[in-house]
């Protein structure tokens, strides 16, 4: 998929997982022996045909970068395939990444150089298995500027997540981070739609939105604002091929932004 660039956010401190994260970033925490949490997202990318991947690192990144070098040097640069670690470049100021949106904003030059038409934004500290290709196909078919993967959760538990409000045609009309009164789904008032932290943007919409906000706001705010630019800008995707660990749902669905 040469028209798609994938960005994996892998700079989280993961303080809630201390002492496992005392000397490494959360995505670099070992899982099942020699593997790392980040390997779940990278494996999903590999099996989904996403082979142009930028891994945005920040805190205590040596362990993560070493793992990428030793375990993921499998793509062929001659075919335009790569997994590249990108620490803060400070191209937009003197600060490190100041949140999710700012991390992408500081690397807009890489997005522009890629000449990609679509950007898949993923978290590097989530544990699940998913094929992103059907979501990407829906995004292209609908012509949306943004598609968010969501899953239904009990409305009583929804306040722990970023929640999405939709209309009867599955168009997103609202996005709120950890709301006190989560919106119910149109068909089931006992359920709410929780964002899985999996986003697909059309490149033009993402770049324009980040430039408009100067990359200094939280991603959830951007999502809420650009959802109202037009009636067809954003769409909902409900994965049918998702495998996740229910016991880790609250911890891994949203992660530390």
Query: Three-state secondary structure along 95-112?
Result: CCCCCHHHHHHCCHHHHH
Predicted confidence (pLDDT) at residue 88 exceeds the cutoff of 80: yes
The neighbour count for residue 160, using CB atoms within 10 Å, is 16
Read off the pLDDT of residues 6-32 as tens digits, 9 standing for 90 and up: 999 987 777 777 787 778 888 888 888
Q: What is the dihedral of CA 211, 214, 218, 222, to 10 degrees?
A: -30
Whether a cis peptide bond, with omega within 30° of 0, leads into 215 is: no
CA angle 245, 99, 8 (to 5 degrees): 50
Q: What are the structure tokens assigned to 190, written together?
A: 């006992």
Contact call for residues 106 and 54 (beta carbons, < 8 A): no
The verdict on pTM exceeding 0.75 is yes
Average pLDDT of the segment spanning 192-205: 89
Cα–Cα dist 28/47, whole Å: 21
Q: According to the model, what pLDDT value does residue 211 have?
A: 75
């Amino acid at each position: 998929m040469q028209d798609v660039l994938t960005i994996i956010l892998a700079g989280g401190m993961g303080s809630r997982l201390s002492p496992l994260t005392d000397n490494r970033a959360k995505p670099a925490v070992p899982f099942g022996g020699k593997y790392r949490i980040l390997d779940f997202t990278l494996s999903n990318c590999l099996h989904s045909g996403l082979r142009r991947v930028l891994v945005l690192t920040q805190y205590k990144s040596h362990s993560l970068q070493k793992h990428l070098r030793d375990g993921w040097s499998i793509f062929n640069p001659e075919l335009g395939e790569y997994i590249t670690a990108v620490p803060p470049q400070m191209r937009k100021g003197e600060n490190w990444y100041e949140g999710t949106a700012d991390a992408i904003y500081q690397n807009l030059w890489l997005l522009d150089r890629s000449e990609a038409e679509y950007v898949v934004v993923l978290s590097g500290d989530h544990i699940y298995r998913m094929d992103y290709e059907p979501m990407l196909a829906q995004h292209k078919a609908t012509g949306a500027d943004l598609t968010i993967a969501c899953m239904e959760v009990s409305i009583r538990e929804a306040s722990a997540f970023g929640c999405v409000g939709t209309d009867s045609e599955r168009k997103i009309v609202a996005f709120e981070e950890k709301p006190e009164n989560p919106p119910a789904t149109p068909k089931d008032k006992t359920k709410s739609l929780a964002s899985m932290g999996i986003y697909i943007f059309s490149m033009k919409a993402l770049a324009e939105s980040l430039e408009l906000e100067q990359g200094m706001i939280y991603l959830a705010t951007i999502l809420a604002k650009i959802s109202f630019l037009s009636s067809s800008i954003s769409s909902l995707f409900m994965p049918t091929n998702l495998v996740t660990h229910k016991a880790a749902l609250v911890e891994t669905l949203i992660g530390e932004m």
